[in-house]
Amino acid sequence: MNQSAHQPAPSTTFALRADLLDFTADPGFDASGDLKGVRFRPDHWLLVRDGVIVGAQVDDPGDDWERHDHRGQLLLPGFIDTHVHSPQLDIIGSYGAGLLDWLNTHTFPAEARYADPEVAHEGAARFLDALYAHGTTSAAVFPTVHPVSADAIFAAAEARGMRLVAGKVMMDRNAPAALMDTALSAERDSQALIERWHGRGRLAYAVTVRFAPTSSDAQLEMAGRLLAATPGAYLQTHVAENKKEIAWVESLFPSARSYLDVYERHGLLGPRSVLAHGIWLSDADRARLAHTGASIAHSPSSNLFLGSGLMDWRALEAAGGRVSLATDVGAGTSLSMLKTLADAYRVQALLGTRLSAWKALHGATRGAADTLGLASEVGTLDVGATADLVLWRWAVGPVAEHRQARASDLHEKVFAWIIQGDERNVVSTWVAGRLMYEARTEWMADRP
């Protein structure tokens, strides 16, 4: 496949004919015949004008519309990745180690390169174009500690018209010297980035604490003040991913009730707080997440790859918590949200829960938008939503095609698409109505 980034759609007014799938509500874990919250409109036209969805209908919209007939293919809102590290494309597939060893061996050396403006800008462009090629149109992103890396990811997203949440990473201890800031410099740099980017176009700033062990109390206190002083800002960090990490946090913050409590006592938990992983949470932690409105970005591929553990999605939601899906990358091994959803199914199965295709897809579309407070804009095919869209093949290759032909109902068909699919299933990606990616399928031409 080759991609064609930055190419606008031929018209600002166009219609796409395909099988439309999105959600009107959380469908729950059940995979029964009840399509609660599932909106499937086969062989419909989706109407887009000036980057916004303006309707959906069975009838041909007529000659006033530039029409693109993709009947037999699947059209979804673009996926939303709620936790992903842009510099880690450099280290996908690195040989395994536990979390802390993996950070020191692979992650930190890769991130140190992003002090170079050329590396930062090239990396940002590569990363965003790769997201589109994998079917993701919105993301909450960790660049690096370097302000230039945050500038680069924001500038690249603005040029593409993308909904992006990001912020300069904060680390003032327990990290390589090339990746450390101070409480004072982190505040100064973050404020400058907020003034430059927050609320500009489709961009939003996230106060970005790497994780508790790499920030002092002074830096965490500053981060809480900055978050409170910036309306509409997000908080993104990591929590309770790995048992050795948790023991380390306990030694660094002996007066805290738990890892999560470190963040809460510094004013970092709220409805716009997104915490990655959340594997080793107590009942008290889950209750505090529900009380504060903070959400967990479930990163199953990363958790399996590093052997970190299994996040109990059902237990968290039963306590009133909120969950979305995330690739994490490079421990996540792929930017493909389909692969991430398949791994989420495996993780939950190991915990005794059979994750339905509907629940998984919701967590990467409307559910993810809900956790970010963006449900009126992204993650849906509602009238008035931004036209962030991805067109998918139901199947690639004879095995998947045969499996699709044998599916007895819609859930079986969608579930098989998730389990067997990946970025090769992506046909086209639009961001705010602009065609940002088109797959080329010459690689299939030699098939008998």
> Over the stretch 297-349, which tens digit does the pLDDT of each residue have?
999 999 999 999 999 999 999 999 999 999 999 888 899 999 999 999 999 99
- Do 106 and 254 lie in one domain? The reply is yes
pLDDT attached to residue 11: 59
> Strands 234-239, 203-209: parallel, antiparallel or unpaired by DSSP?
parallel
Neighbours of 354 (CB within 10 A): 11
User: Do residues 134 and 337 touch, judged by C-beta distance below 8 A?
Assistant: yes
CATH of the domain at 427: 2.30.40.10
Task: Mention every residue, 6+ apart, whose C-beta is less than 8 A from residue 357.
Answer: 31, 341, 411, 414, 415, 418
User: What percent of the chain is modeled with pLDDT above 70?
Assistant: 96
**Between 447 and 17, residue with greater pLDDT:** 17
> Per-residue pLDDT tens for 356-403?
999 999 999 999 999 999 999 999 999 999 999 999 999 999 999 999
Confidence of residue 5 (pLDDT cuts 50, 70, 90): very low
Residue 142 lies in a domain: yes
CATH of the domain at 134: 3.20.20.140
Confidence of residue 129 (pLDDT cuts 50, 70, 90): very high
Interval 130-139 mean pLDDT? 98
Distance of CA 373 to the CA centre of its chain: 14
> Per-residue pLDDT tens for 260-309?
999 999 999 999 999 999 999 999 999 999 999 999 999 999 999 999 99
- Do 192 and 320 lie in one domain? The reply is yes
Number of domain units in the chain:
2
- Do 122 and 220 lie in one domain? The reply is yes
Interval 144-165 mean pLDDT? 98
Residue 97 lies in a domain: yes
pLDDT attached to residue 441: 60
- Do 103 and 249 lie in one domain? The reply is yes
User: Do residues 344 and 135 touch, judged by C-beta distance below 8 A?
Assistant: no
Residue 203 lies in a domain: yes
- Do 89 and 234 lie in one domain? The reply is yes
Residue 351 lies in a domain: no
- Do 192 and 232 lie in one domain? The reply is yes
Residue 219 sits in which domain range? 79-335
- Do 185 and 216 lie in one domain? The reply is yes
pLDDT attached to residue 272: 98
Domain boundary among the residues 300, 335, 370 is at: 335
> Per-residue pLDDT tens for 8-65?
434 589 999 999 999 999 999 887 767 899 999 999 999 999 999 999 999 999 999 9
Residue 359 lies in a domain: no
pLDDT attached to residue 445: 40
- Taking the C-alpha atoms of residue 217 and residue 185, their distance in angstroms, rounded to an integer, is 15
- Taking the C-alpha atoms of residue 357 and residue 378, their distance in angstroms, rounded to an integer, is 20
- Do 172 and 287 lie in one domain? The reply is yes
- Do 326 and 211 lie in one domain? The reply is yes
pLDDT attached to residue 101: 86
- Do 104 and 217 lie in one domain? The reply is yes
- Do 72 and 122 lie in one domain? The reply is no
What type of residue sits at position 326? A
- Do 45 and 156 lie in one domain? The reply is no
> Strands 389-392, 38-49: parallel, antiparallel or unpaired by DSSP?
unpaired
